[in-house]
Amino acid sequence: MEIPEFTCLCPKPGQPDFATLIPDYVPDKRCIELKSLKLYIWSFRNDGKFHEAVTNEILDDMVRAIKPRYMHLTARFFVRGGIFTTVTAQHVQRGFKPANMPAMPLLAPESPVR
């Protein structure tokens, strides 16, 4: 999935932040329903959130909702003040063996973002 229309507000000046969200996941018993995801993502439009905080909040909410085996969220924020920000966060379910999914990009803390 790719969500190119994510918006929230910067908590300091209140200006809008725009980002593309890219969630990748390995489901367990549940999957993400796209209309629900769209409505959830829209709920951030008037919220003042820092980039790192909102990325982690979205990942945590999605993990809580569907309990995936693995989830990785990349948030690519558009330029502000001459700086592009990319935030990544991931969840790995206890007992999930990444070796079973060689095509899935599991990131170590020191690994580059795709």
Which residues are designated catalytic? 10, 17
- Burial-class residue 103 by CB neighbours within 10 Å (0-12, 13-18, 19+): exposed
What ranges make up the beta strands (E) of 1-96? 3-9, 16-26, 70-80, 83-92
90 and 107 Cβ atoms separated by less than 8 Å: yes
Which of 64, 94, 90 minimizes the C-alpha distance to 75? Answer: 90
30 phi and psi, to 5 degrees? Answer: -125, 155
Q: What is the largest CA-CA distance in the chain?
A: 46
